[in-house]
Structure 1
Amino acid sequence: MTSSSIAALPTTLPAWLSVLETRHSKEIDMGLDRVSQVKQQLDIRFGCPVIMVAGTNGKGSTCAMLEAILMQAGYRVGLYSKPHFLDFNERARINGIPVADELFVRVFEQVENARGNTSLTYFEFTTLAICKLLAEAPLDVVILEVGLGGRLDAVNVIDADVSIVTSVDIDHVDYLGDTREKIGFEKAGIFRAGKVAICSDPQPPQSLIEHANKIGADLRLFGRDFNYNGDKQQWNFGGREQRRNSLAYPSLRGANQLLNASAVLAALEALRHQLPVGAQEVRTGLVMVDLPGRFQVLPGRPTVVLDVAHNPHAAATLAQNLDNMGFHAYTYAVFGSMLDKDIEGVISHMQGKVDHWCVCDLPLPRAASSDHLVDALKATGVQEDQEHSVQKFNSPEDAYMFAISKAGENDRIVVFGSFLTVAGVMRARRNAQS
C-alpha cells in the first residue's frame, strides 16, 4: 500500500464507520473464505480461553452473565457483542469498559492494510478488527457473541474452547433455513472437535446433536448434562461434576434467564481448571449483571419496558414477562421491525397485551414500513375501537413521544422489535435528559 493511500485512510471512528457502511455491495455476504484469508494475514491468536455464544435468543444475556461473573472473580475479561444501541464502542468491552475510539482507529488500519484486495462487509471488517484488538490485549478470557447463525458467521473463524448455543428457533430464514432442524445445524457450526459444546435449548434439534457427535465435540445438553431447580427465593445448578446451591436470581428480568444462567454455569464448570470461580463470585455476578434492552424496566411512571424481541420466540417470552408484571390500565406499544422477520408471528403473541399500537418506520432500507406494519396488525385481527388504536409514525422517537403524551401514570409503554426501535427510544430519552 502506498504512502498516499495510507494517508487517505480515515482518522476518526465515525469516519471509518461511514466508509465501512457503504463499501461492500452486500450488507450480509455469507461465507468464511474471505474472512479466513484476512484473519491469517492479521495473525489473530488468542492466548487465553475463548467462549463463543450463538442462539436465536438469549445470546446477549448469556454473554453479560459470563462477563459479570468472571469479572467478579478477578479475571481480565474481553467481550465482543452486537449490535450496539447508541455507540459503536459498545461492541467491544475490556473489563466492562467500552473500547476507546483511538484503539478502534488503530486496529481498523491494521485490518485495512491486511485485507489487500479482499472485499469485506461492515460486519466482517469490524469482527476481524475487534478480534485482533482482543487478541492483543492482556486478557484472561474472551467472550465472543455470534451475529447470524453460526457456521458461516464471521466470528466462526475463531476456534472457541467452549461453545454455547442458547436457543434454536425460526429467524433469518433467508440465510439459515425455515425449520429448527436446518437452523440447528447452522448454529452447531460453532462446535469444535474435542471441545465442550453446550446447548441450553430444552428441545435441541436432532441436527445439532448429530453434528456435535459427528465431529467429536463434548456435547452437554440441558436436562441431560446440566439442570436447575429452585423456589421463589433462590435456585440451584447441577452439572456433570459441579453443583452450585443457594444462588441469587439474575438481575436480568425474564422467564428464560435461568436457562441462560445454567448455560453460563455449565461453561464455567467446563473451564473450572483454567478459570476457577467461587460460589460467592457467581452469586455476586448474577446480581450485578446489567444488559440494556432485554426486558429492561425503566424507573418512573408510566412504566416503560424496552425489549429487543424481534421474532416470535422472543415475543412469546416478552408476552409472558408482561403478564407477570401486575396491573396496568392501558398498554402502549412502540413497534418497528425489519421486513424479513415473521412480523405477524410476533404480533400474534403480543396481540392481547397491547391496547394502543404506535408503529414506526426505521432508518434502514430493509425495514418494514409503518404501512406494512399496519397491514400486518389488521391481518392478525387487531381491532380499532374506543379502547384500542393503531397509529403510524416516521420514527421510534416520534412514536415514543406520542405514547408518553397519552399514557397515564398507571399505564405501560412497551418498546419492542428491532434493535433500531429500542435504540431510537434510548436516543430520545438521552436527548431529553441532556
Structure 2
Amino acid sequence: MNKPLTAPLSTAGLDAWLSYLEALHPSTIDLGLERVAQVAQRLEINPGKAQVITVAGTNGKGSTVRYLETILQASGYRTGVYISPHLRVYEERVRIDGKQQPAALHVQAFAAVEAARGDTSLTYFEFGSLAAFWLMQQLPLDVWILEVGLGGRLDAVNCIDADVGILTSVGIDHVDFLGPDRTGIAREKAGIFRAGKGAVIGEPDFPAEVVAELKAKNISPARVGKEFNYRVTDEQHWHFTGRESELRDLPMPQLPLPNAATALMALELLALPVTEQAIRQGLSKARESGRLQLMAGNPDYLLDVAHNPHAAAFLRDYVQRRFPKRSVYAVVGMLKDKDIAGTLAALEPVVDAWYLADLEGIRGASAAELADALSTTAKQRPLTQFSDVTQAFTAACSDARDCGEQPLVLVCGSFYTVAKIPEAE
C-alpha cells in the first residue's frame, strides 16, 4: 500500500513544495474546471475591482502578456501577471508590478491552497494557478493578466471570468487534449470568452463557424484583418487601426509584431484609459526571456522556445528578415510528443548546420529521433548528434567561431532546450 503524501510544513522551502505538487496528482494534465473552481471558492478567489485579461492561443501568449504588462505599467497601473511554464525558475510564473515574487511568498500561497483543498485532487498546474490567484488578490491591483496553460475552455485559468479575452493564434498542437483539427482547437481556445465582454482574435485564419457560434452567444470578437489592422511602414515603424483608434509611426518592437497589435486591440476594449505615450514606451520596453532573445557575443546567439510548426515558421521568417546574410548553426532539442518533422521542416530553409541534442526525461526526444525526422525533409546539411543541449551548444559556438564570418547560433525546439543555455556568457 502506498504511503499517503504528507504536505510540507509552511516553513519548508520552495523545492519541497514543488516536489509535493508533482507527486500529488496521478496525471500531469487533467482538464476540467469543477475541482479547481471548488477550491477557488473556498479560497474566496476574487479579482475584486481589478480588470482581468486572459490570454489563450497556440503561440504568442507570452509576448502578448508582456506587451500588456509593460504598456499598462507605463500608464501607471498596478499589474499582476501569471504565466506558465517558467523558463528557468518557478518564481518567474508570478509577477507583481513587473517583479518576480520571492520563493517565500509562493510557499505561503501553496500552504493556503493546501489548507483549502481538503481532499480535492489538484494537478501541479491547477495548484500553482490557484496559488498565483491567491498571491495576486493579496494586493490592490488594477489588472490581472492571466496566461492560459492548455486550450482555454477547460483550463484552470478559465475559472476566473475575463473582462477581455485574447486568442492569439490557432495551430495544431496538444491534439490528444484539444482535438486534431483547427476548428475544434479554435472552439476550445475560444472558451475563455464571456458573453457581453471584450474578445480579441489575433489569428487571421480563424474558423468562420466558430465566429458564428460566438456571436450566437453574444460575443462579438474584434478580429485581426477585420475589426483591427496593422501594417509596417518602414524598418522602424508601423501603424495600428482599431475599432475606435488609430496610432501612426509606432516604434517597431523586439517581440513579434502581430502580438503587439493584438495587445493594443485588447487595451482598446479594456475599461481603463491608456495613453499613446504609454503605448510607445511599453512597446519599446517589452522583452521576454527565450522569445526572439538575441544575446550578443562571440558568436551571437538567438534563443526562442518555438516548438511547433507554426512557431517555427515565424522564427524562420524572422531570421531571414533580420539576419539574411548570416550562417545559422541550429541547436535543437524537442519533446517527442511534438510535431518534430513539421517543426524541423519549417526551420530548414535558414539552417546551415544542425546540432541535435537529447532531451532528458520520459517526454524528451533523442537526437537520433530528431535526425530521423529531419532526414525525410531536409537538404544535405552538416548534422551532429549530442547527448545533451549543453554539449550541442558548445560545439555549435566553437564551429561558428571558426567559420570566419558573422554567424548566428540559433537555439530552439522547447522551453527545456532554451533553459539550458546561459543568458550571457
TM-score, normalization by structure 1: 0.92
Task: Determine helix, strand or coil for the equivalent of 1:75.
Answer: coil
Match of 2:409 among 400, 413, 429: 413
Shifted more, 103-112 versus 257-266: the winner is: 257-266
Q: What does residue 335 of structure 1 align with?
A: 332
Residue ranges of structure 1 left out of the alignment (5+ in a row): none
- Residues 135-156 of structure 1, C-alpha deviations (whole Å, 9 max, x = no match): 2222111100111111111111
For the Cα contact (< 8 Å) 1:395–1:424, is it kept in 2? no
Measure the CA separation in 1 of the matches of 2:7 and 2:175. 40
Partner of 1:44: 45
**What does the per-residue CA deviation read over 1:14-48, in whole Å, with 9 as the maximum and x for residues that have no partner?**
11111112221111111111111111111100021
Q: Distance in 1 between matches of 2:7 and 2:31?
A: 29
Structure 2 residue 35 is matched with structure 1 residue 34: yes
Q: Relative to structure 2, which stretch is displaced further, 400-409 or 42-51?
A: 400-409
Contact 1:328 1:412 (8 Å CA) reproduced: no
SS state of the match for residue 310, structure 1? coil
| Secondary structure in 2 matching 1:425 | coil
SS in 2 for 1:269: helix
Deviation at 1:363, TM superposition (A): 2.6
| Secondary structure at 1:119 match in 2 | coil
Q: SS at 2:239's partner residue?
A: strand
Q: Could you tell me how far apart the structure 1 residues matched to 2:257 and 2:40 are? A: 36
CA distance in 2, matches of 1:83, 1:382: 34
**Residue 394 of structure 1: aligned partner:** 387
Sort the Cα spacing of 1:329 and 1:138 in 2 relative to 1 into closer, same or farther, 3 A: closer
Q: How does 1:295-314 map to 2 (within 5 A)?
A: 295-314=292-311
Q: Structure 2 vs 1, CA of residues 318 and 230 (structure 1 numbering), >3 Å: closer, same or farther?
A: closer
Deviates more, 1:153-162 or 1:350-359: 350-359
% same residue: 47
Structure-1 residue corresponding to 2:420: 424
Residue identity in the other structure for 1:298:
M
- Please say if residues 196 and 219 of structure 1, whose CA atoms lie closer than 8 Å, have aligned partners that are also in contact: yes
Partner of 1:245: 248
Question: 2:47 corresponds to which letter in structure 1?
Answer: F
Q: Which residue of 1 aligns with 2:55?
A: 53
Contact 1:302–1:413 (CA under 8 A) maintained in structure 2: yes
RMSD across aligned positions (CA): 1.6
CA contact (8 A) 1:301 1:410 kept: no
Aligned equivalents of 1:218 and 1:200: distance in 2?
14
Question: Residue by residue, what CA displacement relative to the aligned partner does 1:155-175 show, whole Å, maximum 9, x if unpaired?
Answer: 111100000001111111111
Once the two structures are superposed, the pairs formed by residues 78-89 of structure 1 within 5 Å of their partners are 78-89=80-91
Deviations 1:77-128 (A, max 9, x none): 1111111111111110011100111111111001001111111111110011
CA contact (8 A) 1:197 1:212 kept: no
- Displacement of 1:6 in angstroms is 7.0
Partner of 1:404: 397
Cα distance in 2, alignment partners of residues 359 and 226 from structure 1 = 41
Q: Is 1:278 the equivalent of 2:288?
A: no
Secondary structure of the 2:38 match is: helix
Q: 2:200 aligns with which of 198, 201, 218?
A: 198
Query: Who is 1:74 aligned against?
Result: 76
DSSP-derived class of the 1:136 partner = coil
Q: Per the alignment, do residues 329 and 243 of structure 1 end up closer, same or farther by CA in structure 2, a change over 3 Å counting?
A: closer
**Is the Cα–Cα contact under 8 Å of residues 8 and 17 in structure 2 kept in the other structure?**
no
Question: Partner letter of residue 380 of structure 1?
Answer: T
Shift of 1:380: 2.0
Structure 1 CA distance, aligned partners of 2:347 and 2:223? 30
Give the partner amino acid of 1:30. Answer: L
Q: Helix, strand or coil: the match of 2:216?
A: helix
The CA deviation at 1:304 is 0.6
CA–CA distance in 1 between the matches of 2:420 and 2:213?
Answer: 40
5 Å-filtered alignment, 1:340-355, equals 340-355=337-352
- Stretch of structure 1 that moved more, 106-115 or 223-232: 223-232
Q: How does 1:13-32 map to 2 (within 5 A)?
A: 13-32=14-33
Please report how far the alpha carbon of residue 352 of structure 1 lies from its aligned counterpart in structure 2 after TM superposition.
2.4
Using the alignment, how far apart are the partners of 1:87 and 1:204 within structure 2?
34
Assess, with a 3 A threshold, how the Cα gap between structure 1 residues 329 and 260 changes in structure 2: closer, same or farther: closer
What is the total number of aligned residue pairs between the two structures?
415
Range that drifts further, 233-242 or 173-182: 233-242
TM-score, structure 2 as length reference = 0.94
Q: Is the 8 A contact 1:333 1:414 kept in 2?
A: yes
The amino acid across from 1:201 in the alignment is: E
Task: Tell me how far apart the structure 2 counterparts of residues 112 and 329 of structure 1 sit (CA, whole Å).
Answer: 52
Q: 394-403 or 55-64, which moves further after superposition? A: 394-403
Q: Specify every segment of 5 or more residues in structure 2 that has no aligned partner in the other structure, as ranges.
A: 1-5
- In structure 1, what is the Cα distance between the partners aligned to 2:200 and 2:8? 46
Query: CA separation of 1:8/1:288 partners in 2, compared to 1, >3 Å: closer, same or farther?
Result: closer
